[in-house]
Amino acid sequence: MPSLPRGSRILLAIGLAAAQLGQLASAQTRDHVVVVGSSTVFPFAAAVAEAFARDGHWKAPVVESIGTGGGFRLFCKGPGLDTPDITDASRPMTDDERDNCRSHEVGTIVGIRIGTDGIVIASSKRSPHFDLTREQLYRAIAKTVPIDGRLVANPYRRWRDVSPGLPDQAISILGPAPNHGTRDAFVALAMTPPCEMQPEVRTLSKDEQRRACQTVREDGAWIDVAGDYQIMIGKLVNDPGAVAILTFSYLDKNPDRLQAARIDGVAASVESISAWTYPLARPLFLYVKRAHVGRVPGLAEYVQEFVSNRAAGTDGYLVDKGLAPQPAAWLEVERGKAAALSAPRH
């Protein structure tokens, strides 16, 4: 990564946002943008911050990775400058999160879609290659699965137990912890659709269906990994018997060490994710506090840089970092939202 001009810096630490903002609790002004949230969006937000600072007009934004859920909690604490200006997310904001923001009088929140990413099932290049269906993933990961007309505790210990065509190795899955938006998106895209098709699940109440389809096994086959994805990559490389649920951008940066399973016959690529033919493609977002625009120098401009053609366009620098670009017409819509942040308020 090119170095920043002298005097500019970007904080890339994880989990420091609460302490950083706590120091600003009594401040009435702030001279830099603060971004918190998703570890998936983090490399993109940091790259935009670096390009933004390099132009020399604004102080370097502070970009912190604390997870999508953690980002929303901090963002929704209130409207003051002791709270973040932006939270980025690897899933849409939920109704409960919007209610939390509303109850703390955060005010208008502008949601901007920045591009598309894909969730991948990655393994070391020293491991056998996987070709998986979403139903096989569901059966390997869910806490309870249908067998002989009943939902029972997951009995599968090896991938070959799930399907005879899969590798004969123990099921060991490194998965994002519950604070990650990738965990929520994976459950929604990979586990829930095949689960809801099971006759044993269809007879359950909505709450029972949700528990059956969204609860991962707790017998050691699934291992929660909190923190940055680099931790997960390190564990994966050191354990050829494991697979990990990662995002495409991290796979794209480690082609010499990692490989990804085909999902329902489709390989993950920038092209398949952009075209939404890859089954585990999902959108990525920024959520901007409208009340901070005009109070924090460079806030609107940072967001505009994020969806500019040079960053998020087909040949933009974010694509080089693994972001799958949006169709031009979609990007133009998001660009309009970003431009409107600079419009006078009446």
Predicted confidence (pLDDT) per residue in 27-59, tens digit = 567 899 999 999 899 999 999 999 999 988 899
> Is 64 contained in some domain?
yes
- Residue 115 exposure: Cα atoms within 13 Å on the Cβ side: 31
What pLDDT, on a 0 to 100 scale, did the predictor assign at position 95? 96
The pLDDT assigned to 12 comes to: 40
Q: What is the pLDDT of residues 57-95, one digit of tens each?
A: 899 999 999 999 999 999 999 999 999 999 999 999 999
pLDDT value at 17 more than 90: no
Q: Answer yes or no: is pLDDT of 18 > 90.
A: no
Confidence of residue 20 (pLDDT cuts 50, 70, 90): low
Does 49 fall in a domain? yes
Comparing 24-28, 40-44, 188-192, 290-294, which segment has the lowest mean pLDDT? Answer: 24-28
Indicate whether 207 belongs to any domain.
no
125-134, 148-157, 175-184: lowest mean pLDDT where? 175-184
Fill in the amino acid letter for 10. Answer: I
CATH number, residue 104: 3.40.190.10
| Inside any domain, residue 2 | no
Summarize the chain as % helix, strand, coil (round to 5): 35, 20, 40
Report d(CA 224, CA 321) in Å as an integer. Answer: 26
Please say if the pLDDT value at position 261 is more than 90.
Answer: yes
What mean pLDDT comes out for the span 267-272?
A: 94
- Domain boundaries, position 82: 17-116+282-340
| CB burial readout 153-176, b (16+ within 10 A) else e | ebebeebebbeeebbebebbbbbb
Q: In this structure, what DSSP letter does residue 220 have?
A: S
**pLDDT for the residue 8:** 35
Q: What pLDDT score was predicted for residue 4?
A: 36
Kindly state whether residue 225 falls inside one of the protein's structural domains.
Answer: no
Residue 247 corresponds to which tokens in the numbers above? 């995002």
d(CA 295, CA 246) in angstroms, rounded, equals 37
Q: What is the pLDDT at residue 238?
A: 87
Condensed to tens digits (0 to 9), the pLDDT of residues 208-217 reads 999 999 999 9
Q: Give percent of the chain above pLDDT 90.
A: 77
More confidently predicted of 22 and 2: 22
- Among residues 314, 332, 302, the alpha carbon closest in space to that of 274 is found at 314
**250 touches 322 (CB < 8 A):** yes
Joined together, the tokens standing for residue 180 give 């990650």
d(CA 83, CA 233): 31
Tokens of 295: 């109070």
Cβ atoms < 10 Å from Cβ of 83: 23
Mean pLDDT value across residues 146-168: 96
Residue 147 lies in a domain: no
Domain tally for the chain?
1
Instruction: Report, as an integer, the average pLDDT of 189-207.
Output: 95
Residue 5: its pLDDT value, please? 36
The whole-number pLDDT of residue 21 equals 52
Q: Is the pLDDT assigned to residue 268 strictly greater than 60?
A: yes
Number of Cβ atoms within 10 Å of the Cβ of 238: 9
Helix (H, G, I), strand (E, B) or coil at 64: coil
Taking alpha carbons only, the member of 47, 43, 41, 97 closest to residue 74 is 97
Quick: pLDDT tens for 3-16: 333 333 344 433 44
Q: What is the mean pLDDT of residues 118-135?
A: 94
Q: What is the pLDDT of residue 235?
A: 85
- Measuring CA to CA, how many Å separate 265 from each of 61, 66, 105, 134, 239? 41, 33, 47, 10, 25
Query: 188, 113 in Cβ contact below 8 A?
Result: no
Return the bridge partners of 245, or none.
121
Supply the DSSP symbol for 303: H
Phi then psi dihedrals of residue 194, to 5 deg: -70, -35
Range scoring the smallest mean pLDDT among 11-15, 16-20, 192-196: 11-15
Residue 292: the pLDDT is 97
Place of tokens 């005009």: 294
Residue 266 within a domain: no
Q: Is residue 146 situated within a structural domain? A: no
Higher pLDDT, 226 or 319: 319
